[in-house]
A and B are shown apart, each in its own frame.
Chain A
Amino acid sequence: MQSFKPFLHLTRHAAALLACAAFMPAAHAATPADTLAGFTTQAGIAAVAARGQEFFTKNHGREWTCSSCHGAVPTQTGKHASTGKPIGPLAPAFNAERFTDKAKIDKWFRRNCNDVVGRECTPSEKADLLSWLISIKPI
């Protein structure tokens, strides 16, 4: 049996590496369209892109608006309003990572709506916003 030991080790290590490779990139993968569909179902009404654009642009009575960090146009790199750290474009057509990770989406909507609106955003507001962001395509 002695000769099988190295082979067992090999299989174990290979299996561990394969397991990592298989699970890491796919952990929370979703498309922006899936995410929008989820918010629309929760909202119970159809999303309106124009309403999302208005929400993004307008001041909700607090110091920061969405544009303060994400830039006037969400197709370009923004800048954190207090630290100056670069923030990748928000529109999915300009940044493939956007709206693909549920935990990340929930975390940033919670934080940013609190900072910009002073409360959590409703599913309808999230659906409107996302439908507008998805509609922005490179010319």
Chain B
Amino acid sequence: MSLQSTTWIIRVLSAIVAASGFTTIAMADGNGRAVPLLPLYKQECAACHTAYPPTLMPAASWTRIMGNLSKHFGADASLDTVTLKELSNWVNAHAGTYKRVSEEPPHDRITRTVWFDRKHREVSTATWKLPAVKSAANCGACHTKADTGDFNEHNVRIPR
């Protein structure tokens, strides 16, 4: 193998290594607006819950959430200042700006948005109460690829 082709292979491998952290794509709005999930976001936020795509709420909601992490929906989710700054910048940069998310939902809960209700109107009360579902925030109970930011209807499996 020539030196040139070895160099080329190493370059390609390096590019793959660099890109591998960004392979998870959020397509939550179903309109093809894809946002790769930042690895630090997944690491910190998905330690406790689904890595909710930032496109699902406007920047004003995210700013309030990130500014009050020590009282985060009933739990202390505080971060060190460096991590907080990086994550705040990222969620704000990728917050939803299109029509569906122009409203700031009550209590800054994604599950209280008008579109969330509309999208889930066929889900029965009994389904929401299933032990495997438990909470509307538990996206992964039905959206089998939620942890990768994929909320496509074709990947929905409602537990029995």
Interface of A toward B, CB cutoff 8 Å: 6-7, 9-10, 13-14, 16-17, 20, 80, 82-85, 103, 107, 110-112, 114-115
Q: Contact between B49 and A10 (Cβ–Cβ < 8 Å)?
A: no
Q: Most chain-A CB neighbours within 10 Å: which of B48, B75, B135, B137?
A: B75
Contacts of A82 in B (CB 8 A): 73-75, 135
B158 contacts partner chain A, Cβ-Cβ < 8 Å: no
Task: From known contacts A80-B48, A114-B76, infer whether A10 and B135 are also in contact, taking CB-CB under 8 Å.
Answer: no
**Contact B14–A85 (Cβ < 8 Å):** no
Q: Which of chain B's residues have a CB closer than 8 A to the CB of A112?
A: 76
Contact B76 A10 (CB under 8 A): no
Q: Taking the nearest CB of chain B, how far is it from the CB of A11, in angstroms?
A: 10
B135 touches A7 (CB 8 A): no
> What B residues does A17 contact at CB under 8 A?
10, 13-14, 17
Given contacts A107-B79, A112-B76, 6 further A-B contacts (CB under 8 A): A10-B10, A17-B13, A17-B17, A83-B135, A85-B48, A107-B80
Residue numbers of B with Cβ under 8 A of A are: 3-4, 6-7, 10-11, 13-14, 17, 47-49, 70, 73-80, 134-135, 137-138
The residue on A at minimum CB distance from B78 is A111
* Partner among B11, B73, B74, B138 whose Cβ is within 8 Å of the Cβ of A13: B11
> A6-B4, A82-B75, A84-B135 known; A13 and B10 CB under 8 Å?
yes
B14 engages A10 (CB within 8 Å): no
B134:A14 contact, CB within 8 angstroms:
no
Name the contact of A83 in the complex, choosing from B7, B14, B17, B138 (C-beta under 8 A). B138
